[in-house]
Amino acid sequence: MPVNLAGLWVPIATPFAATGNVDLPLLVEHGKRLIAEGATGLAVLGTTSEANSLTVDERRAVIDACIAGGIPPERLMPGTGSAAIGDAIALTRHAAAAGCAGVLLLPPFYYKNITDDGLFAFVARLIEGCGKFTPRILLYHIPQQAVVGWSLPLIARLREAFPAVIVGMKDSSGDLSRVEQASVFGNFAIFPGSEAKVVAAMAMGAVGCVSAGGNVNARAIAELVAVASKPEAAVLQVAVNAVRAALGDRTLIASVKAVIAAQTGHPGWRRVRPPLLELTETERVALLAEPAIRALLPMPAIAV
């Protein structure tokens, strides 16, 4: 795969202003910081971004604000999946027209027990609807959230029908056997959805990871991805896993935002959009006291 579809892509958290609106300047600032810390790019509008709690107009605005704020479009891989085919087409076309590196496509997730034929028809209609503004598509498999998923036989079928378009997969199932089996597709960018197993996944053919933990630990995860095949990777894997475990002990999105708030000194980062809730004060204090998390925070000022 081209180099821009490898490495650490961060599903960037979305900050909200006191009004409840997306705080676009703060989002852009955060994205620039992550790239400076070693992230290859930003998987804006992902699960950690609370994308499915944003309107289509808000999602377009996030893409546009990143680019207007100086983040190169080739560093963006937006999530454009939607239960409504028209919304998915509109967002995917917008990302392509903006020059984004590709898009992450959730399956249409409202109706359950959907057949592979139905999902194939969805993708085919989306590609037809995008026309000349069809970006590279990475299928986003997260069955624990969507319930609907991309089966490996369906991916093989989509690859055969649209080889220049269906170019990869973010697999958040946690099932490494899917990574190993998908590696036979060839020229197919596979990203596990967590840094916790990235060394093992890359040994099976993955090219990096798309990880929520990158919001608070980008430098270490990017370094781990870069040295995944080297002996020092084992020690680095243990260290990043400690951070991921601390975040995962509580609600992941709220935990990520609580840590960003502590790292930046901006308490507004703790806001989430309903139906999600912020961590309680007890949860927040406990999280920030975790040794792996405390190591990521600025040192307190020393009184003199």
Q: What is the pLDDT of residues 210-226, one digit of tens each?
A: 999 999 999 999 999 99
Domain ranges of the chain: 3-228
Question: 246 near 196, Cβ under 8 Å?
Answer: no
Q: What is the pLDDT of residues 12-57, one digit of tens each?
A: 999 999 999 999 999 999 999 999 999 999 999 999 999 999 999 9
Question: 170 near 188, Cβ under 8 Å?
Answer: no
Question: 4 near 41, Cβ under 8 Å?
Answer: yes
The verdict on whether 111 is a catalytic residue reads: no
pLDDT grade for 1, boundaries at 50, 70 and 90: very low
The verdict on whether 170 is a catalytic residue reads: yes
Whether the per-residue pLDDT at 302 is higher than 50: the answer is no
- Cβ-in-10-Å burial (0-12, 13-18, 19+) of 45 comes to buried
Question: Using alpha carbons only, how large is the chain's radius of gyration in Å?
Answer: 19
pLDDT of residue 100: 97
Higher local confidence (pLDDT), 92 or 186: 92
Whether the per-residue pLDDT at 86 is higher than 50: the answer is yes
Query: What mean pLDDT comes out for the span 107-117?
Result: 96
pLDDT grade for 285, boundaries at 50, 70 and 90: very high
Q: For residue 160, what are the contacts with CB-CB under 8 A and spacing of at least 6?
A: none
Whether the per-residue pLDDT at 3 is higher than 60: the answer is no
What is the architecture, at CATH level 2, of domain 3-228?
Answer: Alpha-Beta Barrel (3.20)
Query: What mean pLDDT comes out for the span 265-294?
Result: 97
Question: What is the chain's mean pLDDT, rounded?
Answer: 95
pTM of the model: 0.95
The residue from 111, 112, 132, 140 that is catalytic is 140
- Work out whether the CA dihedral 59, 61, 63, 65 comes out positive or negative: negative
The residue from 32, 112, 132, 170 that is catalytic is 170
Q: What is the pLDDT of residues 122-132, one digit of tens each?
A: 999 999 999 99
Q: For residue 114, what are the contacts with CB-CB under 8 A and spacing of at least 6?
A: 107, 108, 148
